[in-house]
Amino acid sequence: MYKKVLIAEDFDSINIAVKQTLENLGVQEIQYAKYCDDAILKLKKALQDDQPFDLLISDLSFVEDYREVTIASGEELIQAIKEIQPEIKVIVYSVEDKPYIIKTLFDEAQINGYVKKGRNSISQLKTAIETLLYGKTFISPELAHALQDKTGKEIDSYDITLLSHLANGVAIEEMETLFKHLNITPNSKSTIEKRVAKLKDYFKANNNIHLIAITKDLGII
Amino acid sequence: MYKKVLIAEDFDSINIAVKQTLENLGVQEIQYAKYCDDAILKLKKALQDDQPFDLLISDLSFVEDYREVTIASGEELIQAIKEIQPEIKVIVYSVEDKPYIIKTLFDEAQINGYVKKGRNSISQLKTAIETLLYGKTFISPELAHALQDKTGKEIDSYDITLLSHLANGVAIEEMETLFKHLNITPNSKSTIEKRVAKLKDYFKANNNIHLIAITKDLGII
DNA sequence: AAGTATTTTACGGGAATCCGTAATTGGGAG
DNA sequence: CTCCCAATTACGGATTCCCGTAAAATACTT
């Protein structure tokens, strides 16, 4: 069993439950952080003391409050931690279920397990930890299909910015000017319209309004 | 202290933490339900046995899965439970922070406390329970402003349906036909357009796309 | 019942969108 | 350099949205 585990999770209630689970599994040392910044500090400290963490269990979204933070999300946290201690194992424990997000986590951030918070997530978390011990990856069964998803490959960052500006109320008319101002290419009204048309086609949206509603629901913007 | 408490919460991890909290407070009997339907059943059973619950702690959103349910949300659950056992105390324990939602819960559903899931929510939950014992209501400090919010009064259910259909890709053109078909009045294109214009004004949206993005972010649709 | 106020409906013009097609540009390949 | 291909840009027409005004219907007073 892993000896030293770090939990990065803002909700106290979930922290309590995960901690209890790890104790039941026989983990000797458990620490938790309610802010990503604190998680980084604890990780560095452990490395300095030559007693590094074996495993990180991290949430993805951390609610903002009065405190100023440099790392605001689980995605950033994992990336930062992998730079400091690349060999650490990572399990994401989150409510997120968008294929696009999860696939990126496995592909880009090289996480080892993904457990979706839900009605049986604690037993899944146990299974995930045991699976990792055998050197394999884990994903919640209900999300297994996520790794086959192709959205991530076909929608690029240009599409995302375009959608974001649309959602922020920028009209197609103004988009051309805005993109030129921001040095984003292509930026002609025509090409922008073409992209939007492609996106509408891809997401089977009836119109631009529908498109924004769909992509918001998918968590793309 | 309350003797018998029912928890309605789908996430197992949070169930564990809330249960532990109640035990620490000295609650004698704690039951939990991961589905709203089960919560109703347990409540009815307890009433029949003449050992009713004193307090309900409920989440608002319950994720859908394979199981067919009749009650899908915490709002519906609370309404249903109040009809069966009007004197029961209710605390909502949820991540929801939209003033519109919370104000409605206090005003319409007559809940007694609202605790927002967060970094210190477990201690808030304890305080909430103790506050209720004195016959007072509780709301998480960071949401105290929610009760002053006026959105709830100015946006009605007609606006919500309108926005929902817009988000589902129905064009204003088609809306008239659709509303007539659904027996929703007013349904003339002109009035519908007027409503949309009012909403755009209210939410300071540049266009319909922007409007949907904003209202989606606010959790109104 | 008549008058007033409010809401709903009707209509129309200008702006923005949607969605084609055609022209232009900017690399690689030969 | 020239050809070719793909991507970008230009342009235009049909449609839809946007927003005002005026008429009609409904509700509310007296």
Is there a single domain that holds both residue B79 and residue B184? no
Q: What is the CATH number of the domain that holds B23?
A: 3.40.50.2300
Is there a single domain that holds both residue B127 and residue B166? no
The CA-atom distances, in angstroms, between B190 and each of A5, A129, B175, B186, B197 are 61, 59, 11, 10, 10
Q: What is the CATH number of the domain that holds B202?
A: 1.10.10
> Would you say residue A152 has pLDDT above 80?
no
Is there a single domain that holds both residue B131 and residue B156? no
Interval B47-102: pLDDT, tens: 999 999 999 999 999 998 899 999 999 999 999 999 999 999 999 999 988 777 88
% of chain B surpassing 90 pLDDT? 57
Q: Which residues of chain A does B20 touch, with a Cβ-Cβ cutoff of 8 Å?
A: 16, 20
Angle at the Cα of B174 (from B173 to B176), degrees rounded to 5?
Answer: 85
The minimum CA-CA distance between B47 and chain A, rounded to whole Å, is 26
- Residue ending a domain, among A116, A148, A180, is A148
Is there a single domain that holds both residue A176 and residue A198? yes
Q: Which residues of chain A does B15 touch, with a Cβ-Cβ cutoff of 8 Å?
A: 17
Is there a single domain that holds both residue B107 and residue B199? no
- Residue ending a domain, among A105, A126, A148, is A148
B207 CB inside 7 Å of strand C? yes
Is there a single domain that holds both residue A16 and residue A114? yes
> Would you say residue A150 has pLDDT above 90?
no
Domain membership of residue A103 as a residue range: 4-148
Could you tell me if A10 and A63 are in contact, meaning their C-beta atoms sit under 8 angstroms apart? yes
Interval B132-142: pLDDT, tens: 999 999 999 98
pLDDT value of residue B149: 65
pTM of the entire predicted model: 0.80
Q: How many domains are there within chain B?
A: 2
Interval B167-184: pLDDT, tens: 888 888 888 888 888 888
Distance CA A100, CA A156 (A): 11
Is there a single domain that holds both residue A62 and residue A73? yes
Which is more confidently placed, A134 or A182? A134
Distance CA B221, CA B164 (A): 6
Strand ranges (E), A59-156: 89-94, 113-116, 138-139
SS3 content of chain B, % helix, strand, coil (to 5): 55, 15, 35
> Would you say residue B147 has pLDDT above 80?
no
pLDDT value of residue A171: 87
Is there a single domain that holds both residue B142 and residue B195? no
Would an 8 Å CB–CB cutoff place A10 in contact with chain B? yes
Q: Which residue is nearest to nucleotide C12 (CA to C1')?
A: B190
- Residue ending a domain, among B103, B127, B148, is B148
Q: Which residue is nearest to nucleotide D8 (CA to C1')?
A: A191
User: Which of B10, B13, B216 faces A14 most closely, judged by CB atoms?
Assistant: B13
Structure tokens at B165: 């259909």
Is there a single domain that holds both residue A34 and residue A65? yes
> Would you say residue A84 has pLDDT above 80?
yes
pLDDT value of residue B21: 95
% of chain A surpassing 90 pLDDT? 57
pLDDT value of residue B150: 62
Is there a single domain that holds both residue B113 and residue B194? no
Chain D: positions less than 7 Å from a protein CB are 7-12, 16-22
